[in-house]
């Protein structure tokens, strides 16, 4: 899709000028660290389909899609029109709306394990609500999560998401490592950390805290762990353990709902008790949701004589978001999911061919419409294998800057791509060519890193 630069999109001030003012009024000049760049961030002027134009007039092909949240790319006309119609009726009321009911019905019809839904405003809030609901339902204090997994910025959810060799401890009992300075010791004590996809070690770790664990939370294809899908055996083992020990198995599908029509959980033989949602279900607007079993979700029910988890939120289920989200998910039907996944597989095969041509130690992991590039010859299977020392991180950033500046391609900062339905074979070919050029660009430095033996097989 070609983007037409309108008068409103033409640069009035450069990115450098905007950033100078931003630093005077915004901490660090940005409201989310993921968009920070030196010497200054790039500022969007407008976007359409799979292209974004910045205030300096440069157009880039977008494979980041606002951190995997734009499943149809930018400014899809059906979503825009539906939102405009709702905007004219109002954006938020101290009342419920039919829009949230229609959207909840769609989600429940789409995913078999979704019996009841509650809307919130972000993926972080969805995970937080899910954890608190698990505690309310079980009466237990602890949660268990995979080492390296990202689940948003809630204190308990962010433990050990950036564990490093100097602090992560024995693999048979990984340490609970804080992310934010000042994290209370009590938070660390209430998070049990296990190695993703390792059944024997995980069950042994869980057994030691069996009577205190409220829920075991997993992202079925954890991005930070390496974007490696959870095996059927691993997920089934966790499910069986939670049934045996009175805990809940909960999924974080904020990112992975895109993997299949019914989310990543569609391909497993067991169903989680609750699932946290976000990103693509907002149609481009801030969103989160919690979905799960009726009896578990009852802890939120205001009709109960004793409400175990009183829950509300000023902008939860606002009609703009629920309208945009409903339209987006209607458009992302089974056919669209299969088509996008197939296109992503074509891209992966083409990039693997580029890796061979460039003759570089690079591998890919992923699922559905997303994949991640690793600067190692064999795909990692665990977080500790996927961990990147500072030399590799620096080279990944150099590669991403090359794509951004020279190839005019946007990717997620882990060197990952999240496809949208706006992308076609033409864009896949551009990405493949850019990848080939990028691999050749970093080849000398990458080979030196491997020669210096930074534990990258």
The pair of three-digit structure tokens given for residue 270, joined into one six-digit string: 């067991």
Q: Helix or strand or coil: residue 449? A: helix
Q: Helix or strand or coil: residue 174? A: coil
The pair of three-digit structure tokens given for residue 2, joined into one six-digit string: 């070609």
Buried b (16+ CB within 10 A) or exposed e, 332-361: beeebbeebbebbeebbebbeebbeebebb
- Residue 279 among the catalytic residues: yes
Q: Is the dihedral of CA 83, 88, 94, 100 positive or negative?
A: negative
Among 359, 398, 355, smallest CA distance to 373 is for 355
Packing angle, helices 319-331 and 77-87, rounded to 10: 160
What is the rounded distance in angstroms from the CA atom of residue 189 to the CA atom of residue 186?
Answer: 5
Which entry of 116, 132, 145, 279 is annotated as an active-site residue?
A: 279
- Residue 150 among the catalytic residues: yes
> Are the C-beta atoms of 210 and 245 separated by less than 8 Å?
yes
> Are the C-beta atoms of 16 and 39 separated by less than 8 Å?
yes
Rg (Cα) of the chain, in Å, rounded? 22
What is the rounded distance in angstroms from the CA atom of residue 342 to the CA atom of residue 349?
Answer: 11
Which entry of 150, 154, 239, 268 is annotated as an active-site residue?
A: 150
Which entry of 54, 62, 219, 252 is annotated as an active-site residue?
A: 252
- Residue 12 among the catalytic residues: no
Residues 6+ apart with CB under 8 A from 398: 442, 445
Return the H-helix or E-strand segment holding 259: none
Return the H-helix or E-strand segment holding 319: helix 319-331
- Just list the catalytic residues: 150, 252, 279
């Amino acid at each position: 899709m070609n983007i037409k630069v309108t008068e409103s999109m033409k640069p009035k001030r450069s990115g450098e000028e905007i950033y100078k003012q931003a630093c005077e009024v915004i901490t660090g000049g940005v409201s989310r660290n993921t968009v920070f760049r030196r010497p200054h961030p790039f500022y969007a002027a407008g976007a359409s389909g799979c292209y974004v134009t910045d205030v300096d007039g440069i157009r880039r092909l977008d494979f980041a899609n606002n951190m995997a949240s734009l499943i149809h790319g930018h400014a899809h006309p059906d979503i825009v029109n539906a939102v405009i119609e709702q905007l004219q009726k109002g954006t938020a009321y101290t009342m419920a709306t039919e829009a949230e009911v229609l959207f909840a019905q769609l989600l429940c019809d789409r995913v078999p394990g979704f019996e009841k839904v509650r809307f919130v405003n972000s993926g972080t809030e969805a995970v937080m609500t899910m954890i608190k609901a698990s505690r309310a339902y079980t009466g237990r204090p602890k949660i268990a999560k995979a080492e390296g997994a990202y689940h948003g910025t809630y204190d308990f959810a962010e433990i050990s998401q950036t564990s490093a060799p100097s602090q992560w401890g024995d693999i048979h009992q990984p340490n609970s490592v804080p992310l934010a300075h000042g994290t209370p010791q009590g938070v660390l004590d209430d998070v049990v950390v296990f190695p993703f996809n390792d059944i024997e070690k995980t069950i042994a770790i869980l057994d030691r805290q069996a009577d205190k664990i409220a829920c075991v939370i997993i992202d079925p294809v954890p991005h930070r762990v390496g974007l490696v899908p959870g095996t059927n055996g691993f997920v089934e083992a966790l499910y069986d353990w939670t049934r045996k020990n009175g805990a809940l198995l909960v999924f974080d599908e904020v990112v992975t709902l895109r993997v299949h029509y019914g989310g990543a959980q569609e391909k497993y033989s067991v169903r989680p008790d609750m699932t946290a949602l976000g990103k693509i279900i907002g149609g481009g607007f801030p969103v989160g949701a919690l979905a799960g079993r009726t009896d578990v979700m009852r802890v939120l029910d205001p009709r109960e004589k004793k409400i175990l988890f009183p829950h509300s939120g000023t902008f939860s289920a606002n009609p703009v978001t629920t309208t945009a989200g409903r339209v987006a998910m209607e458009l992302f039907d089974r056919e669209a999911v299969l088509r996008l996944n197939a296109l992503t597989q074509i891209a992966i095969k083409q990039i693997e061919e580029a890796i061979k041509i460039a003759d570089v130690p690079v591998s890919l992991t992923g699922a559905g419409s997303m994949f991640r590039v690793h600067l190692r010859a064999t795909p990692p299977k665990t977080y500790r294998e996927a961990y990147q020392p500072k030399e590799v991180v620096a080279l990944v950033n150099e590669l991403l800057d090359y794509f951004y500046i020279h190839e005019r391609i946007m990717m997620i900062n882990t060197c990952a791509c999240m496809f949208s339905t706006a992308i076609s074979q033409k864009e896949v070919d551009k990405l493949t060519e850019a990848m080939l050029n990028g691999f050749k660009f970093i080849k000398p430095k990458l080979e030196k890193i491997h020669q210096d033996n930074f534990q990258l097989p």
